[in-house]
Amino acid sequence: MRVGVSWLAEVTDVADGATAEDVAAVLVRVGLEEEGLHGGDVSGPVVVGRVLSAEPEPQKNGKTIHWCSVDVGEEEPRGIVCGAQNFGAGDLVVVSLPGAVLPGGFAIAARKTYGHVSDGMICSTAELGLGEDSDGIVVLGELLGAAADGVAPGDDATALLGLDDRVVEVNVTPDRGYCLSVRGLGREHAHGRGLDVATAFRDPLAGVRVPSGPGERDVVLADEGPLDGRPGASRFTARTVRGVDPSRPTPWWLRRRLVQAGMRPVSLAVDVTNYVMLLVGQPLHAYDAARLDGALVVRRARAGERLTTLDGVERALHPEDLVVADGAEGARAVGLAGVMGGASTEVTAATRDVVLEAACFDPVSVARTARRHRLPSEASRRFERGVDDAMAAAASQLAVDLLVEHGGGTAEDGLTDVGGPAERPVVALPVGEPARLVGVDYAPERVRALLEQVGCAVSGGPGAPDALAGAAAAGAGVGAWSVEPPSWRPDLRQAADLVEEVARLDGYDRIPSVLPRAVPGTAGGVLAGGGLTARRRAVRSLARALAEAGLVEVASYPFVSPERADALGLPDGDERRRALRVANPLREEEPLLRTSLLATLVDVLRRNVGRGADDVALFELGSVALPAADRAPSPRPGVDRRPTAEEEAAVRASVPHQPLHVAALLVGARTPRDWEGRGRSADARDAVELALLVGEVLGVPLTAAAEADRPPFHPGRCAALRVAGGPAAGAVVGHAGELAPRAVAALEVPARTVALELDLDVLLGALPGPPRPGALATYPVVKQDVALVVDASVPAADVEEALRRGAGLLLEDCRLVDVYAGEQVGEGRRSLAFSLRFRAPDRTLTGAEVAQAREAAVAAAGEATGAVLRGS
């Protein structure tokens, strides 16, 4: 909401000499946040000038400029060059003289141009900040009309036009619809200054006399489809003004206020309705009476009904849309109620008789219609937030008065007024409630006084003569007030709402600061003792371990294109193709939510490479969304109570599975080339190593096994990672390896990019308890090496696993220390050398024991993998 300081000052006491900043500071105190300060940035000599002569001078560039002589009230006229065409000798114009600064920091100086010294500037509407569009030069006779009489060259144009009036723009929260008006802002400004509204605030509706007789135009409220029992229109007034002169312009000051508020002047009738809406917050609509046929009927739209709205768009109406209609039994819709009028009965340049509508429409109905037709309007904004239902007739009267005064019309004596203000709810406010919620010990008389400032009628409570009656009426005890909120505050519905009013008016700066003492571990058994869950701690360890392993953490947006699944090479039917779709995506080409982190992490990799990085190692921790194949709609149980266990379970079950994943991508050197050597490129084994590291850090060891069928990985360079032991033993938690060449090409990432992705939810669900280290063996260790020859296709892990199994409990460690393939072992075979360490916890091992264990290990490897001792 935007308002000029001078307009605001008409309805409320603004401090002497207050700037726009001061006004904004007062308003923010009561919750109206400053959105911006506009206009008024004119300084220096800006004066009225009379054009004495204007000689056209065609220029080589095709333009014609005017070389003007302008009387600015000095002894000699000034010579000024002007490029505009819409003025001539004799016109009164606005001249900014050298030294003046116009909006936008535009400083005026004498300047040589087009062969003359231009000693000032003749100003346009836009240059003075009086309008958005440049209608050319401001000609005061046209702008001010009769008010231009008596204006003389040399007069201060800044004062004349109010050029220094600044506009305060505030953000109005959805609960304060009444602040979408000067009336509401004026009241709040008085609150912000701590002034008594009875004296500091002048309600523009106070004292407005409303006719009581019946009006000419019949109105029928015929809503047969109320939403949740609320009628679409609770009140509808109509008033006819005849004989308005359509050629009469809107007065300058009124247009100026509309422009300052960000609205476009249209015609007198429309401008007046907008002006009154800005002033008091009541949306009004002007119909051309000659184009209306009979009574106005408020009803729901009919099946298949269409309406062309004022913006020229023909709209198919929805049966839930509330319309205003005319004709026989309301056959023809002439407006979307509370949203926008229809084109067929629009006020035009020929309109002489006007019907003014001021009504009260249901917020929900208006909100749905505005949303359905994507048609947010100044009217719908106000109705959605709640319009004071007591002011329709008075607001209409304000508009009638302006039309009569400036358009020369005659208003009918009567007023059609159907329906009426709703009954006010009475809210019980326990006396101690403000202190209980705010922590300030407000005196009861202070609470009462503040609520009365807001406009509430307060009865009952301490010290009131009507204590018993009021409390009884509200169903509250004697320790409570009965509070009837004012008609403009439909948002005040419960005690907490009133408490906010008390705290807000008393000032949030009076609230002390007290650090609460928490009860540790309130969030259930997993958090007994408070603090981080084991899961959070594990994720932290994991992130730090990966960073220490040389990877850089990044975070990518979860949005992906459908084509990404193709680029990754996912086959039809792959579970990762089943993704949630965003109905209103940020970018149309990326409507899906990722089902794997790699799907979006590759974009980050590409960005890094694009920015010149050669060696990149990235990881991301984030969730993916894995919807079930058969998804049921998410229920929305009522919220006036706790949902039943079944309802709650159904809501929770509707939320898709979203496991936490970790993914990494590496390209380029793992060990960089430097003075020691050529370095080493990241390869698939690095990815496997990092995957194993993840398991190790979490205390859930993993094993790697070849996996030939897991896009986007290279079929020969991919390992599946499984949980090695414990309750989740054998569960596949992810994959690591090199990306397949086709995926590399389709994703446009560097060749030999290696990757991993693991589902951490499985691992975090298998976290071990506190480590139990057991006793450390101190007897001597015995080392034995074995070299085994196997088929080249036999995975080293299988050999190792068999060795470990065969060696039995005495084996302390087994490591692959050499791999050899070549003539000595024969085609298609390779030699794997393992270093075995044996130790017993309770004795020194004998040579025979060790030899036996070693032989058992080799035998097991032979049985499992066909391994034979090298050289045997």
Partner 1 sequence: MSAPNKDFDPVQVTPLDAEQVEGAVADALAAVAAAGDLEELAAASRAHGGDRSPLALANREIGALPPSAKADAGRRMGQARRRVADAVAERRAVLEAERDAAVLVTEALDLTQPTSRRPRGARHPLGLLVERVEDFFTGLGWSVLEGPEVEAEWFNFDALNFGPDHPARQMQDTFFVDPPEDGLVLRTHTSPVQARALLDHGAPLYVAVPGRVFRTDELDATHTPVFTQVEGLAVDEHLTMAHLRGALDALVVAMLGEGTVTRLRPAFFPFTEPSAELDVRCPVCAGTGVVAPGAGARAQGAATAAEEAASTRADDPAGEGAPCRTCGGTGWIEWGGCGMVNPHVLRAAGVDPERFSGFAFGMGIERTLMFRNGVQDMRDMVDGDARFSRRFGVEV
Q: Which of 4, 6, 23, 29 binds partner 1 (CB under 8 A)?
A: 29
Minimum distance of partner 1 from residue 352's CB (angstroms): 38
Is 639 a binder of partner 1 (CB under 8 A)? yes
Q: Write phi, then psi, for 528 (nearest 5 degrees).
A: -50, 130
Minimum distance of partner 1 from residue 655's CB (angstroms): 5
Is 641 a binder of partner 1 (CB under 8 A)? yes
DSSP state of 466: T
Q: How many CB atoms lie within 10 A of CB 522?
A: 9
Nearest CA among 539, 481, 263, 281 for reference residue 390: 281
User: Partners of 664 in the beta sheet?
Assistant: 619, 756
Nearest CA among 31, 34, 48 for reference residue 5: 34
Strands 167-171 and 2-4, by their bridges, are antiparallel
Is 230 a binder of partner 1 (CB under 8 A)? no
Is 523 a binder of partner 1 (CB under 8 A)? yes
Is 628 a binder of partner 1 (CB under 8 A)? no
Do you find a cis peptide bond into 376, omega within 30 degrees of 0?
no
Minimum distance of partner 1 from residue 173's CB (angstroms): 3
Q: Which helix (H) or strand (E) holds 601?
A: helix 598-610
Nearest CA among 424, 338, 417 for reference residue 382: 338
Q: Where are the beta strands (DSSP E) in 608-648?
A: 616-623
Of the listed pieces 46-54, 493-501, 790-798, 805-813, which binds partner 1 according to CB under 8 A?
493-501
Helices marked H in 795-834 = 796-807
Instruction: Report the alpha-carbon distance of residue 817 to residue 105 in Å, rounded.
Output: 76
Minimum distance of partner 1 from residue 180's CB (angstroms): 11
Of the listed pieces 301-309, 415-423, 637-645, 800-808, which binds partner 1 according to CB under 8 A?
637-645
Instruction: Report the alpha-carbon distance of residue 490 to residue 760 in Å, rounded.
Output: 50
- The token duo for 141 is 């006779």
Of the listed pieces 241-249, 642-650, 744-752, 756-764, which binds partner 1 according to CB under 8 A?
642-650
Is the distance from CB of 651 to CB of 635 less than 8 angstroms?
yes
Could you tell me the CA-to-CA distances from 729 to 110, 336, 702 in Å, in that order?
Answer: 87, 65, 9
- The token duo for 862 is 């032979």
Cα atoms in the 13 Å half-sphere on the side-chain side of 783: 5
Minimum distance of partner 1 from residue 546's CB (angstroms): 7
Minimum distance of partner 1 from residue 611's CB (angstroms): 6
Nearest CA among 665, 775, 796, 797 for reference residue 724: 797
Instruction: Report the alpha-carbon distance of residue 396 to residue 283 in Å, rounded.
Output: 9
Instruction: Report the alpha-carbon distance of residue 373 to residue 380 in Å, rounded.
Output: 12
Is 497 a binder of partner 1 (CB under 8 A)? yes
Which residues 297-336 are close enough to bind partner 1 by CB under 8 A? none
Minimum distance of partner 1 from residue 87's CB (angstroms): 11
DSSP state of 870: T
Q: Which of 531, 571, 715, 730 binds partner 1 (CB under 8 A)?
A: 531
Instruction: Report the alpha-carbon distance of residue 56 to residue 76 in Å, rounded.
Output: 21
Q: Which of 264, 371, 783, 815 binds partner 1 (CB under 8 A)?
A: 371
Q: Calculate the dihedral angle through the C-alpha atoms of 106, 111, 116, 118, rounding to the nearest 10 degrees.
A: 50
Q: Which of 643, 699, 701, 862 binds partner 1 (CB under 8 A)?
A: 643
Is 543 a binder of partner 1 (CB under 8 A)? yes
Minimum distance of partner 1 from residue 838's CB (angstroms): 34
Give whichever of 65 and 836 is closer to partner 1, judged by the CB atom.
65
Q: Write phi, then psi, for 6 (nearest 5 degrees).
A: -65, -35
Instruction: Report the alpha-carbon distance of residue 87 to residue 136 in Å, rounded.
Output: 9
Of the listed pieces 1-9, 453-461, 516-524, 770-778, which binds partner 1 according to CB under 8 A?
516-524
Q: Which of 164, 175, 293, 401 binds partner 1 (CB under 8 A)?
A: 175
Instruction: Report the alpha-carbon distance of residue 155 to residue 48 in Å, rounded.
Output: 5
Minimum distance of partner 1 from residue 595's CB (angstroms): 12
What is the amino acid identity at position 625?
A
Is 648 a binder of partner 1 (CB under 8 A)? yes
Is 530 a binder of partner 1 (CB under 8 A)? yes
Q: Which of 327, 569, 635, 750 binds partner 1 (CB under 8 A)?
A: 635
Instruction: Report the alpha-carbon distance of residue 64 to residue 569 in Å, rounded.
Output: 66
Of the listed pieces 444-452, 505-513, 721-729, 833-841, which binds partner 1 according to CB under 8 A?
505-513
Is 264 a binder of partner 1 (CB under 8 A)? no
Which residues 101-120 are close enough to bind partner 1 by CB under 8 A? 101, 104-109, 111, 113-114, 118, 120
Cα dihedral 238, 211, 278, 140 sign = positive
Which residues 658-677 are close enough to bind partner 1 by CB under 8 A? 658, 670-672, 674-676
Is 229 a binder of partner 1 (CB under 8 A)? no
Is 363 a binder of partner 1 (CB under 8 A)? yes
Nearest CA among 155, 161, 158, 160 for reference residue 74: 155
- The token duo for 816 is 């692959």
Which residues 133-162 are close enough to bind partner 1 by CB under 8 A? 134, 137
Could you tell me the CA-to-CA distances from 212 to 239, 404, 592 in Å, in that order?
Answer: 12, 19, 61
Q: Which of 162, 485, 591, 695 binds partner 1 (CB under 8 A)?
A: 591
Q: Which of 14, 30, 140, 597 binds partner 1 (CB under 8 A)?
A: 30
Q: Which of 115, 214, 477, 520 binds partner 1 (CB under 8 A)?
A: 520
Which residues 420-449 are close enough to bind partner 1 by CB under 8 A? 435-440
Of the listed pieces 76-84, 702-710, 714-722, 840-848, which binds partner 1 according to CB under 8 A?
76-84
Give whichever of 667 and 744 is closer to partner 1, judged by the CB atom.
667
- 828: Cβ contacts below 8 Å, ≥ 6 apart: 791, 792
Of the listed pieces 243-251, 277-285, 397-405, 488-496, which binds partner 1 according to CB under 8 A?
488-496
Minimum distance of partner 1 from residue 753's CB (angstroms): 15
Give whichever of 286 and 593 is closer to partner 1, judged by the CB atom.
593
The dihedral region occupied by 529, where left means phi > 0, alpha psi between -120 and 50, and beta the remainder, is: left
Give whichever of 31 and 338 is closer to partner 1, judged by the CB atom.
31
- The token duo for 828 is 């298609």
Q: Which of 327, 343, 508, 859 binds partner 1 (CB under 8 A)?
A: 508
Minimum distance of partner 1 from residue 163's CB (angstroms): 17
Which residues 679-718 are close enough to bind partner 1 by CB under 8 A? none
Of the listed pieces 172-180, 419-427, 706-714, 818-826, which binds partner 1 according to CB under 8 A?
172-180
Give whichever of 621 and 789 is closer to partner 1, judged by the CB atom.
621
Q: What number of chain residues touch partner 1 (CB under 8 A)?
A: 145
Minimum distance of partner 1 from residue 672's CB (angstroms): 7
Minimum distance of partner 1 from residue 511's CB (angstroms): 5
Binding mask of the shown chain, residues 383 to 422, with x at each position contacting partner 1 by CB under 8 A: -xx-------------------------------------
Is 267 a binder of partner 1 (CB under 8 A)? no
Is 49 a binder of partner 1 (CB under 8 A)? no
Q: How many CB atoms lie within 10 A of CB 516?
A: 5
Q: Which helix (H) or strand (E) holds 67?
A: strand 64-71
What is the amino acid identity at position 204?
P
| Sheet with 480-484, edge to edge strand ranges | 427-430, 480-484, 457-460
Give whichever of 259 and 347 is closer to partner 1, judged by the CB atom.
259
Instruction: Report the alpha-carbon distance of residue 115 to residue 124 in Å, rounded.
Output: 22
Which residues 594-613 are close enough to bind partner 1 by CB under 8 A? 603-604, 607-608, 611, 613
Is 852 a binder of partner 1 (CB under 8 A)? no
